[in-house]
Structure 1
Amino acid sequence: MSKLALVTGATSGIGAAFAERLAADGYDLVLVGRRRERLEEFAAAHTETKVRAVAADLSTDDGIDTVARICAEEPLDLLVNNAGVAHYMPLAELPADKARELVKVKVLAPTLLARAAVAGMQERGRGAIVNVAGMIAFSGPAPHAQLPRRAVYAGSLAHLVAMSQTLSAELEGTGVRVQVVCPGVVATEFHERQGLDLSAIPRMGAADVVTAALRGLELGEVVCAPGVEDPSLLDAVFQADLAAFAGQSTELASRYRR
């Protein structure tokens, strides 16, 4: 029996690389993207694979609802929440429509699609949800001079990290796995569509990101960082998070007392 995967943002970059790998691995595919012609080109080039092309804009309520219905109704073995936009700019310069688009695509859509898929996965006792974020999720403490300011983008990726970790704990013992994959700079069209020329910067290939994500699922990783050689660095971050969480008290901290 074939396995079924749904991939958002499947028309290019990491999403297209997921589609290629999953097709080679024998999955039937539901591919979601804004550009129907690219989805249909993929289907025509992969006649050995059952491909359903769904043209949907996940920055709109209608687009999210359309894909959420599919997630709820189809017996998904794998959901890959990959769709994304960047809109790198300081918050004061970020137009309201771009802020809304970013939050819908990277926060609301993956939240509602995961919600729609997870009940059926639990009933079947199997399945996996992969949320594609990025190492920028960990960049919040960086000083002003180190990185271009992109508060909403970084915050949306941090949401995916925290949601994935918490959802993974919620689903422990159900047979449903959750992962957030956090690549660094990847060689895709993503940055070019934002008007950024990163051609001179070393970048990881999208296929390598997919290799890491799928192997990370096998290893039981909840947070997969394809370009981080030493996983103890991530462990240290998460242990510090838990230490701060456990260090709270009902008493006001002394530094705030006059």
Structure 2
Amino acid sequence: MTTAPASSPAPSTAAAPLALVTGASSGIGRAFAERLAALGHDLIIVGRRRDRLDALAASLPDVAVQVIEADLSTIEGITTVADVAASRPVSLLVNNAGVAHYMPLTDLPAEKALELLNVKVVAPTLLTRAAVTGMIARGAGTIVNVAGMIAFSGPAEAPAPQGGRSVYTGTLAHTVALSQSLSAELAASGSGVTVHVVCPGVVATEFHTVQGMDLSALPRMSADDVVTATLAGIDLGEVVIAPGVEDYALLESVFTADVAAFHGQSPQLASRYAAVVAATTPAPLVE
């Protein structure tokens, strides 16, 4: 898809914070845009469907809205949005754009794998890089990456009912690790910029419908509740925000185990591997 020229920035309202939201034409992204506008943010909204973006902008007459039609599965689209993120005083970046492509790795066409990696890995990385420099210079800013609880499903013994999704799972795990590491990096430098990753479960949007999945029979969280949890999680100082997890200690135990495993390494070969070598190495011949 060819990226259409971005609309000219609408005049910003006096002293209004500026939020950039990707994937804003529907679902969680639209819910973010509507909520942030209600809170007084001017907006840059990004998506592939210009008609929906224009309709959203028209429904938010009390704030300045810049529309960018861009396909974040392409380097051209990513570059277009990154240039805007670097040149405007973005105080809140919401990396929400998504694409499912649930299928086993061996069935995933190469072009779809690249599209998935661009949307969920390359785009958030480069848009964050573009926006964060200005945030640091201004001494404040917030980055929100939208992932999902699937990020924690890697150790599952069997594929989900929807089928294989190893690449999709890997992209969300990347988002969680990137957000945690970048949060620590920016905190250590005293930048004033915070980073958060939102991990909802199944949400009532058209995300799965586009993939050809009917999940209407499953209990699903609303996109509005995801946004509510995100804003509350930011206030609570949570780096990983899990809207549907009641017992946050479950996540903390995962993070503690991750750090323990990282610090539990040594330069010596672990005894379980040495034991296998010893058991399979023939004894020397004795003359």
Q: TM-score range by the shorter chain?
A: over 0.9
Q: Which structure 2 residues correspond to residues 31-180 of structure 1 after superposition, within 5 A?
A: 31-144=45-158, 146-147=160-161, 148-172=163-187, 173-180=190-197
Q: Secondary structure at the match of 1:250?
A: coil
1:28 aligns with 2:42: yes
Q: Which residue of 1 aligns with 2:263?
A: 246
CA distance in 1, matches of 2:214, 2:112: 20
Percent identical residues: 67
Q: Deviations over 1:190-244 (max 9, x none)?
A: 0000000000000000000000001111111000000000000000000000000
Q: Secondary structure at the match of 1:191?
A: helix
- Amino acid of the residue matched to residue 103 of structure 1? L
1:16 aligns with 2:30: yes
CA RMSD of aligned residues (A): 0.8
CA distance in 2, matches of 1:235, 1:42: 38
Q: Which residue of 2 aligns with 1:188?
A: 205
TM-score, normalised to structure 2, is 0.89
CA distance in 2, matches of 1:144, 1:28: 44
Q: Deviations over 1:49-102 (max 9, x none)?
A: 111000000000110000000111110110000000010000000011110000
Deviation at residue 46 of structure 1 after TM alignment: 1.3
Q: Which residue of 1 aligns with 2:3?
A: none
Q: Which residue of 1 aligns with 2:250?
A: 233
Deviation at residue 133 of structure 1 after TM alignment: 0.1
1:210 aligns with 2:224: no
Q: Which residue of 1 aligns with 2:285?
A: none
Q: Which residue of 1 aligns with 2:9?
A: none
CA distance in 2, matches of 1:43, 1:238: 39
Q: Which residue of 2 aligns with 1:221?
A: 238
Deviation at residue 145 of structure 1 after TM alignment: 5.2
Q: Where does the alignment leave 5 or more consecutive residues of structure 1 unmatched?
A: none
Q: Deviations over 1:98-135 (max 9, x none)?
A: 10000000000000000011111000000000000000
- Amino acid of the residue matched to residue 65 of structure 2? V
Deviation at residue 248 of structure 1 after TM alignment: 0.3
- Amino acid of the residue matched to residue 62 of structure 2? E
Larger Rg computed on CA atoms:
2
Deviation at residue 43 of structure 1 after TM alignment: 1.2
Q: Where does the alignment leave 5 or more consecutive residues of structure 2 unmatched?
A: 1-14, 278-287
Select which of 269, 273, 277 maps to 1:256. Answer: 273
Cα distance change, pair 62–145 in 1 and its aligned pair in 2 (3 A): closer
TM-score, normalised to structure 1, is 0.99
Deviation at residue 27 of structure 1 after TM alignment: 0.3
